[in-house]
């Protein structure tokens, strides 16, 4: 991915997915930001609405890596909302104050 494409990806995510949410860190130049559980649920809803996808969801606890789920584990494509919805549900079962981040698939025609 070129720097220009990466900048367009960040712009798309900030404009359509991350707006109004509490990002950690609160920067405009990264797609690897994290959210609390409530805000990440909103992220997933917006991802589905905009028909983009998620390659993987990484969670941290007390600023340390805790777990990761990927679309490959669910034998599906990043755009399949069923996988990331199931993964999120599974991660919430830990009942910890986790921070959620994701790597996003965005089709070139959306940028």
* 41 token code pair: 């649920």
pTM exceeding the 0.85 threshold for the entire prediction: yes
Over residues 62-100, the pLDDT tens digits come to: 989 999 999 999 999 999 999 999 999 999 999 999 999
What residue segments make up the domains of the chain, in order of their start?
A: 3-110
User: What string of DSSP letters covers the chain?
Assistant: --HHHHHHHHHHIIIIISTTS--BS--SS-S--BB-HHHHHHHHHHHHHTT-EEEEEEEEETTEEEEEEEGGGGTS-TT-HHHHHHHHHHHHTT-S--EEEEEEE--GGG-
Contacts of 105 by beta carbon, 8 Å cutoff, 6+ apart: 52, 53, 54, 55, 78, 79
pLDDT 10s digits, 52-61 = 999 999 999 9
pLDDT of residue 30: 57
Q: Please state the rounded mean pLDDT for residues 41-62.
A: 96
**4-17 pLDDT, tens per residue?**
888 899 999 999 99
Kindly report the CATH number that applies to the domain delimited by 3-110.
3.30.190
């Amino acid at each position: 991915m070129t720097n220009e494409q990466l900048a367009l990806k960040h712009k798309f995510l900030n404009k359509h997915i991350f707006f109004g949410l509490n990002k950690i860190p609160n920067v405009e130049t990264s797609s690897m930001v994290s959210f609390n559980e409530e805000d990440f649920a909103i992220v997933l809803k917006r991802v589905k609405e905009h028909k983009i996808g998620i390659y993987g969801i990484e969670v941290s606890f007390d600023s340390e890596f805790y777990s990761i789920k990927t679309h490959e584990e669910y034998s599906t494509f990043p755009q399949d909302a069923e996988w990331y919805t199931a993964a999120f549900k599974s991660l919430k079962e830990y009942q910890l104050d986790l921070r959620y981040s994701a790597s996003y698939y965005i089709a070139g025609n959306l940028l």
